[in-house]
Structure 1
Amino acid sequence: MRNISDIIEQHLKRILQESPNGLVEIQRSELADMFQCVPSQINYVINTRFTIEKGYVVESKRGGGGYIRIRKAQITSKSRLQELLTEELIGSSITQGAAYAIIDRLHEEGIINSREAALMKTATSRTVLNLETPLRDRLRANLLKHMIASILIR
């Protein structure tokens, strides 16, 4: 049986997919009522499952009439994608979880295949990069940037 976070995530993704403008706007309290959970559960799902690394842009407005707006980030060109990934998302250091989210997004977008995704995950895993954390995260960022550059050139 799936947990409530998985169910909420799938619900939001389905609404997003069916949306003609690629956008979903929800109210946290209404969604919490729908799934009979606390609003913080909705926050958790949005903060962990709808991140920029995973290809989503989230905006929110708190207070009366507040909302959460989620949209799928569009890839306009390979050069813009490379710039976004290497400069804005990866930077000089990246955790394994964030790296895997980027790799999964590249796979979902059809930019890399399953085998390439598996190889990239292996090369950037903490078991392969068996170093102290700050150095490991810097090396992972450097490897990931160069792999993405090589892929986007083809």
Structure 2
Amino acid sequence: MARLSDIIEDFIKQMFNEDDKKVIFIQRNELADQFRCAPSQINYVLTTRFTYEKGYLIESKRGGGGHIAIKHLEHDGSNRREELINQSIGDMITYHNALALLNNLLESEIIEEREYEIMKIAINDRTLVSAGDRNKVRADILKAMIMIILS
């Protein structure tokens, strides 16, 4: 049986597929009522499943009638490369965040399965065992690979 988080994630992704939407608007409390869960469960799904690394941007408008806008980012080669290097990777990146980024590249068909596996092994903690600051070295390796792939 699927976990509630997975069900909510699938529901939101399905909203994007309707009419090829690039932005959807949700109200957290209404969605929580629909799934009979706490609003914090919706927050959890949004913050863990709809991250920038996974190709999404979340904007929240507070107050009466407020909503949450979820934007599915479209990327072309050079813009995507700059965004990935400057915003998603930065000077350091954890293995968990790097993996999320690679999964997004794979799902977006920017990289293929073989490239994904090679990149994944190149940046994992066991490969970087002798590196002083793994997260910095990982970021440098990932940036170099993305420069080549998206050039």
1:24 paired to 2:30: no
CA separation of 1:36 and 1:136: change in aligned 2, threshold 3 A = same
Deviation at 1:19, TM superposition (A): 4.1
Deviations 1:103-122 (A, max 9, x none): 11111111110111011111
Partner amino acid, structure 2, of 1:11: F
Q: Is the 8 A contact 2:22 2:73 kept in 1?
A: no
1:120 and 2:119 aligned: yes
Q: What TM-score do the two structures reach when normalised by structure 2?
A: 0.95
Q: Aligned partner of 1:9: which letter?
A: E
Q: Deviations over 1:41-73 (max 9, x none)?
A: 000000000000000011111221111111100
Rounded to whole Å, the distance in 1 between the matches of 2:20 and 2:14 is 12
Identity of aligned residues (%): 46
Alignment of 1:139-154 (within 5 A): 139-153=137-151
1:52-71 matches, within 5 Å, as 52-71=52-71
- How do 1:75-154 residues align onto structure 2 when only pairs under 5 Å count? 75=75, 77-131=76-130, 135-153=133-151
Q: Distance in 2 between matches of 1:125 and 1:35?
A: 36
For structure 1, the residue ranges without an aligned partner over 5 or more in a row are none
Give the length in aligned residue pairs: 151
Q: How far apart, CA to CA, are the structure 2 residues paired with 1:20 and 1:110? A: 17
**Partner letter of residue 92 of structure 2?**
S
Q: Secondary structure at the match of 2:25?
A: strand
Q: Which residue of 2 aligns with 1:36?
A: 36
Secondary structure in 1 matching 2:54? coil
Q: Under a length normalisation based on structure 1, what TM-score does the superposition of the two structures give?
A: 0.93
